[in-house]
């Protein structure tokens, strides 16, 4: 079983994979991970979700998650980003990309995480872009 499949079994994405398939769940995670997303009760053919996974799959998924009398209301979800690795791994990648000079928006887009995740990690690690030509005062022997 792959790392992705293990994570699918532990989240909303597992339910999406059960209703549709793992590939569709991965597409949803990649495109919406870290965001709050509204799944309408009856998606339009040209909706972002329909264009991403196909209209038939979008209808099936939205029908599964719809609520209310006669399933007339859609549902809002926070799509997880943990699918692509552990939190520690994502934090290390944020630190590395910050040091390489990438902006917070670029990092968030590249890693498929919310920009607030990047901001929090930068504050937590106090990562700053340091000049590469600066000498180290404490030489490692």
Q: Which two tokens stand for residue 98?
A: 């910050």
**Which has the minimum average pLDDT: 7-21, 29-43, 95-109?**
7-21
The pairing of strands 75-78 and 36-39 is: antiparallel
- Domain ranges within the chain, ordered by starting residue: 3-83, 86-125
Q: Over the stretch 27-81, which tens digit does the pLDDT of each residue have?
A: 898 888 878 889 999 999 999 999 999 999 999 999 999 887 777 889 998 887 6
Q: Supply φ then ψ for residue 88, to 5 degrees.
A: -60, -40
What is d(CA 129, CA 101) in angstroms, rounded to the nearest whole number?
Answer: 7
pLDDT confidence tier of residue 9, bands split at 50, 70 and 90: very low
pTM of the predicted model as reported, rounded to 2 decimal places: 0.55
The answer, yes or no, to whether residue 84 has pLDDT greater than 60, is: no
Strand extents, DSSP E, 51-134: 75-78
What is d(CA 105, CA 131) in angstroms, rounded to the nearest whole number?
Answer: 22
């Amino acid at each position: 079983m792959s790392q992705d499949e293990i994570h699918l079994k532990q989240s909303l994405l597992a339910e999406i994979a059960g209703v549709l398939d793992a590939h569709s769940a991965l597409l949803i995670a990649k495109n919406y991970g870290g965001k709050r997303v509204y799944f309408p009760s009856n998606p339009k053919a040209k909706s972002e979700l329909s264009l991403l996974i196909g209209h038939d799959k979008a209808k099936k998924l939205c029908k599964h998650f719809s609520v209310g009398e006669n399933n007339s209301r859609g549902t809002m979800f926070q799509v997880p980003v943990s699918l692509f690795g552990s939190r520690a791994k994502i934090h290390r990648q944020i630190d590395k990309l910050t040091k390489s000079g990438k902006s917070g928006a670029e990092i968030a887009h590249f890693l498929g995480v919310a920009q607030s995740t990047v901001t929090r990690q930068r504050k937590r690690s106090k990562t700053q872009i340091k000049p590469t030509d600066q000498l180290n005062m404490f030489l490692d022997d």
